Amino acid sequence: MPTLPLFLGLLLFSLHTIIPPSTAAKDDTLAPGQVLTAGEKLVSSNGKFALGFFQPDAGNNSKSSTSPGWYLAVWFNKIPLLTPVWVANREMPIADPDLRATKLQISGDGNLAVVSNHSTQPFIWSTHITNNNRTSNATTIAILLATGNLVVQDPSSSAVLWQSFDDPTDVALPGAKIGWNKVTGLNRVGISWKSRTDPGLGSFSVGLETNGTRRVMVSRRVYPSKVYWSWSPDNSPMQIPALKALLSMNPQTSGLVVPEYVDNDEEEYYMYTSPDESSATFLSLDTSGQTKLNVWSQAEQSWHSIYVQPVDPCRPYATCGPFTVCTGSSPSPCECMESFSLASPGDWELGDRTGGCSRNTPLDCNANRSDSASTDVFHPIASVTLPYGPKDAVAATRSECEWACRSNCSCTAYSFQGSKCSVWHGELFSVNKNDGIEISSQDTLYIRLAAGDFPRGTRRRPVAGVVIAASVIGFGLIMLMMLLVISRNRLNWCGASSSHVTGEGRVGVVAFRYADLGRATKNFSEKLGAGGFGSVFKGVLGDLTAVAVKRLDGARQGEKQFRAEVGALGLIQHINLVKLIGFCCQGDKRLLVYEHMCNGSLDSHLFQSKATVLDWSTRYQIAIGVARGLSYLHQSCRECIIHCDIKPENVLLNESFVPKIADFGLASVVGRDFSRVLTTFRGTMGYLAPEWLSGVAITSKVDVYSFGMVLMEIISGRRNASVVHTSSSCCVAYFPVQAISKLHEGDVQSLVDPELHGDFSLDEAERVCKVACWCIQDNESDRPTMGEVVRVLEGLQELDMPPMPRLLAAITESSNVASMYSSS
């Protein structure tokens, strides 16, 4: 998926097939005394937009409970597939089949209003302009502007008294603001359609928080209400200058989309403009909760969604309704749970899934009956995210957890993970299958079903003791098989010889008890460091082996990182990868045991003022070692492993300063049959490749880009972005831009860390600088593979002079970043 930052996914759309009005046309203005009736339309001065009455197509709506009415709307005038971008009377469709009695006019009080002779109400819809917004007794006119904005003006002053851009539905056109007016308090919030044929208020909304956080939020607006996606320039690496540069390089968006953010005393808002007035684009929030950027393809005569966020259709909260399971990798992601059926098939087909699914058979809900064959049963759904709104229950075993749910008639499901028992009452929302896109979970949910929905032979409940015994034995066998497989694969999967592994003194991965690791680390008393997922402690095993023990925090994220690291490192062996010695998986505790690296991480030697300065030879060997480790991950293992977070903090150094890549908690494994993997946004600001920002499926070239940024810091001995003080001011200097400029000028020596006092190999420095500049090219296809990088650094292959990466240059120019670096 191509990516614009989160604010670009601001408003709605699902494509609607429409019964078009007749072509009787007026100009772009409706004055007092004039009316617009069915079959007529206002057309903007540029001919791009039209305003009139339309009816969503009911041709495929035979199963729907309601028939669509008529609505006043703005749509693209020159596009054959009529696409509404604003709807007036969303909650009050015109049901009268004879539209001759319905008209749009300027009412006596100066409002734009839809009136009907057959209606009992004076207005079906009105702009509701207050008197303090207009001059007393002044007339008003309505104009459809060239932007698609319908405005009501005071003709004497041209003051805008009301505009459709301030009353968004589900679409944002170029020039429409997503944000709020600090003076009036007006906050423009977009709301999705209810279904593809019902413009009524749907389940999802998008708007800007008004508390100063600058955060755009996309939320489920009906129960269960929850923010499921947000973006702010304060906590995202995708700043507006970077976004502008990125869009200018994308052939699908170049010249079409220019994002803006404004924050002043009166307003705070996001919007985008489109310099190409002949193009047709809009941002949308569709009926499933995904935000999209849509562009009309004249060649194919269809709309293309060139940006979708979130990527996974299961991410929007409760998008499939109650008692459903969502699988993002499936063509039809939503399906009913076992023994449930669609509550409203007609609405479901039209994109309105709020009704979800309902039970085929009512629950018996009588746990005390002696006839156990008639009591309810619990059916497992494996590898899913657990539903919204769990409640904790006291239970020491899964059987006790099941009983806690069974004994309450309102309980519909339970889960027992580790030693934690969770139960759910009522409807179940947001049960999402592990789909390999953005949803990754190994939890098991047990849903309560009527016994009659299962064959009689499957309804007997095993004795609790048998269940416990079987579980213990099964867990033991699984652990034994895991250790055997991991041990075998560490020898065979990636070509490590058995003598090499034996020489290391340890074969396989050890399963530790928590108490043993507590003793090894002196009750976790000596902390080596901390990160987003937990803390690392120094320890000593019984055989006096020094280790680093990572204790993962947070049940969900900790479990995810635990599995990622064991899955990546448990099957591989390489001198430039940190060795996983063992792990602990006890209750809800997750720990990883690594070899201890006595010289810490690379960043501590490059950036800390009190650290020992690394000489050039050591830096060069570190660069080659990291490159070899990445080449091994990308090209030598059975499955390609993408690290996703290469940075100096994740390069550890042993007693001989041999580098070892660490922290595989964000790693992704790509099968050899695939070249790309679609994954969630991850990594560290400053080392992220442009494709992370574009939202497309990534390749191993994201690690190549990050490695290039690390090489820059190895050369300079400082962060790529740093504050430079001049005699009159200070500014931010961005080293990569300076590096490639100096490389082209033949002045590489001025780039090398001044702490080396000129003691370095100029040929090697030029080679490293060339490699770094090729690694950070905008287009991933222009970057070398890590195998090629190794050969260049080893002097076995040459590289041409790299071009200036356009994205870096554009960011620097847009941000007025100083590119001056002192050579002294």
In a domain, 439, yes or no: yes
- The structure tokens 């007036």 sit at 88
Looking at residue 308, its pLDDT comes to 78
Compute the distance between CA of residue 420 and CA of residue 397 in angstroms, rounded to an integer. 9
pLDDT band of residue 45 (cuts 50, 70, 90) is: very high
Looking at residue 817, its pLDDT comes to 40
In a domain, 637, yes or no: yes
- The structure tokens 């976790």 sit at 524
Looking at residue 133, its pLDDT comes to 55
Q: Is residue 102 within 8 Å of residue 96, measured between CB atoms?
A: yes
Angle in degrees, 0-180, between the axes of helices 806-815 and 735-745, rounded to the nearest 10: 120
Mean pLDDT of 631-656: 87
Domain end among 560, 595, 630: 595
Same structural domain, 291 and 399: no
Looking at residue 376, its pLDDT comes to 87
pLDDT band of residue 460 (cuts 50, 70, 90) is: very low
- The residues, any chain, with a CB within 8 Å of residue 741's CB and separated by 6 or more, are 804, 819
Compute the distance between CA of residue 105 and CA of residue 142 in angstroms, rounded to an integer. 9
In a domain, 824, yes or no: no
Is the pLDDT score of 556 beyond 50? no
CATH number at residue 56: 2.90.10.10
Kindly list the distances between the CA atom of residue 624 and the CA atoms of 401, 532, 603, 633, 758, in Å, as whole numbers in the listed order: 54, 28, 17, 14, 21
Q: Report the 10 Å Cβ neighbour count for 6.
A: 23
Mean pLDDT of 288-297: 89
Same structural domain, 81 and 218: yes
Q: What is the pLDDT of residues 303-361, one digit of tens each?
A: 888 777 887 889 899 999 999 999 887 778 999 999 999 999 999 999 999 999 999 99
Same structural domain, 721 and 793: yes
Q: Does 782 qualify as catalytic in the annotation? A: no
- The region that residue 354 occupies, defined by phi over 0 for left and psi between -120 and 50 for alpha, beta otherwise, is alpha
Looking at residue 782, its pLDDT comes to 92
Share of the chain above pLDDT 90, in %: 43
Mean pLDDT of 384-410: 92
Looking at residue 252, its pLDDT comes to 57
Looking at residue 723, its pLDDT comes to 54
Lowest mean pLDDT among 132-146, 446-460, 611-625, 647-661: 446-460
Compute the distance between CA of residue 752 and CA of residue 740 in angstroms, rounded to an integer. 13
Domain end among 555, 573, 595: 595
In a domain, 822, yes or no: no
Q: Which residue did the predictor score with more confidence, 339 or 130? A: 339
In a domain, 332, yes or no: yes
Is the pLDDT score of 277 beyond 80? yes
Compute the distance between CA of residue 688 and CA of residue 242 in angstroms, rounded to an integer. 12
Q: What is the pLDDT of residues 474-517, one digit of tens each?
A: 555 555 555 554 444 443 333 332 223 323 334 457 888 899 89
Q: Which helix (H) or strand (E) holds 478?
A: helix 464-492
Q: Of the listed 645, 663, 703, 778, which one is catalytic?
A: 645
Q: What is the pLDDT of residues 188-199, one digit of tens each?
A: 999 999 999 999
Is the pLDDT score of 689 beyond 60? yes
Q: What is the pLDDT of residues 591-630, one digit of tens each?
A: 889 889 989 899 999 988 667 789 999 999 999 999 999 9
Residue 712 exposure: Cα atoms within 13 Å on the Cβ side: 27
Looking at residue 558, its pLDDT comes to 52
* pTM, two decimal places: 0.60
Is the pLDDT score of 706 beyond 90? yes
Domain end among 309, 342, 377: 309
Mean pLDDT of 73-96: 92
Beta strands in 454-575 (DSSP E): 510-511, 527-530, 534-540, 546-552
In a domain, 131, yes or no: yes
In degrees to the nearest 10, what's the CA dihedral of 631, 636, 639, 641? -20
Query: DSSP label at 633?
Result: I
Compute the distance between CA of residue 682 and CA of residue 36 in angstroms, rounded to an integer. 52
pLDDT band of residue 140 (cuts 50, 70, 90) is: very high
Is the pLDDT score of 589 beyond 80? yes
- The residues, any chain, with a CB within 8 Å of residue 229's CB and separated by 6 or more, are 6, 9, 217, 218, 291, 309, 310, 315, 316
Q: Which of 187, 383, 216 has the alpha carbon at shortest distance from 309?
A: 216
CATH number at residue 689: 1.10.510.10
Same structural domain, 231 and 261: yes
Angle in degrees, 0-180, between the axes of helices 701-716 and 735-745, rounded to the nearest 10: 80
How are beta strands 226-231 and 258-263 bridged, if at all? unpaired
Looking at residue 630, its amino acid is: L
Q: What is the pLDDT of residues 398-416, one digit of tens each?
A: 999 999 999 898 999 999 9
Compute the distance between CA of residue 435 and CA of residue 693 in angstroms, rounded to an integer. 22
Identify the domain containing residue 676 by its residue range.
602-815
Kindly list the distances between the CA atom of residue 276 and the CA atoms of 175, 273, 344, in Å, as whole numbers in the listed order: 13, 9, 43
Q: Which residue did the predictor score with more confidence, 371 or 436? A: 436
CATH number at residue 403: 3.50.4.10
In a domain, 316, yes or no: no
Kindly list the distances between the CA atom of residue 174 and the CA atoms of 12, 271, 274, 553, in Å, as whole numbers in the listed order: 14, 7, 6, 44
Same structural domain, 495 and 421: no
Is the pLDDT score of 395 beyond 50? yes
Q: Which helix (H) or strand (E) holds 175?
A: none
Q: What are phi and psi of 402, to 5 degrees?
A: -60, -40
Residue 347 exposure: Cα atoms within 13 Å on the Cβ side: 19
Kindly list the distances between the CA atom of residue 333 and the CA atoms of 156, 346, 434, 435, 759, in Å, as whole numbers in the listed order: 55, 17, 12, 10, 60
Same structural domain, 581 and 647: no
Q: Which helix (H) or strand (E) holds 295?
A: strand 291-297
Lowest mean pLDDT among 59-68, 118-127, 294-303, 388-397: 59-68
Lowest mean pLDDT among 452-466, 565-579, 601-615: 452-466
Q: Which of 192, 183, 166 has the alpha carbon at shortest distance from 271?
A: 166
Same structural domain, 125 and 233: yes
Q: Which residue did the predictor score with more confidence, 587 or 102? A: 102
Compute the distance between CA of residue 343 and CA of residue 617 in angstroms, rounded to an integer. 70
Q: Is residue 573 within 8 Å of residue 563, measured between CB atoms?
A: no
In a domain, 134, yes or no: yes
Looking at residue 331, its pLDDT comes to 75
Same structural domain, 408 and 484: no
Tokens of 234: 């304060």
Is the pLDDT score of 568 beyond 80? no
How are beta strands 431-432 and 324-326 bridged, if at all? parallel
Q: Is residue 559 within 8 Å of residue 590, measured between CB atoms?
A: yes
pLDDT band of residue 99 (cuts 50, 70, 90) is: confident
Looking at residue 168, its pLDDT comes to 95
Q: What is the pLDDT of residues 207-223, one digit of tens each?
A: 998 887 778 889 999 88
Is the pLDDT score of 244 beyond 80? no
Angle in degrees, 0-180, between the axes of helices 786-793 and 762-775, rounded to the nearest 10: 170
pLDDT band of residue 384 (cuts 50, 70, 90) is: very high
Same structural domain, 454 and 498: no
pLDDT band of residue 531 (cuts 50, 70, 90) is: low
Q: Which of 39, 48, 42 has the alpha carbon at shortest distance from 19?
A: 39
Q: Is residue 150 within 8 Å of residue 144, measured between CB atoms?
A: yes
Same structural domain, 590 and 611: no
Kindly list the distances between the CA atom of residue 163 and the CA atoms of 89, 142, 150, in Å, as whole numbers in the listed order: 15, 9, 6
Tokens of 757: 């006092």
Same structural domain, 450 and 483: no
Is the pLDDT score of 699 beyond 60? yes
Compute the distance between CA of residue 410 and CA of residue 401 in angstroms, rounded to an integer. 15
Number of domains comprising the chain: 4
Q: Which residue did the predictor score with more confidence, 529 or 31? A: 31
Compute the distance between CA of residue 136 and CA of residue 116 in angstroms, rounded to an integer. 27
Q: Is residue 114 within 8 Å of residue 125, measured between CB atoms?
A: yes
Tokens of 299: 């060649």
Is 26 assigned to a binding site?
no
Lowest mean pLDDT among 225-234, 417-426, 463-472, 530-539: 463-472
Kindly list the distances between the CA atom of residue 200 and the CA atoms of 194, 324, 343, 504, 705, in Å, as whole numbers in the listed order: 5, 23, 20, 67, 46
Compute the distance between CA of residue 462 and CA of residue 406 in angstroms, rounded to an integer. 15
Please give the span between the terminal C-alpha atoms of the chain, in angstroms, as a whole number.
45
pLDDT band of residue 183 (cuts 50, 70, 90) is: very high
**DSSP assignment of 30-47:** E-TT-EEETTEEEE-TTS
Same structural domain, 531 and 453: no
What is the pLDDT of the chain when averaged over all its residues? 80
3-state secondary structure of 404: helix
Q: Is residue 128 within 8 Å of residue 150, measured between CB atoms?
A: no
- The structure tokens 């063509």 sit at 331
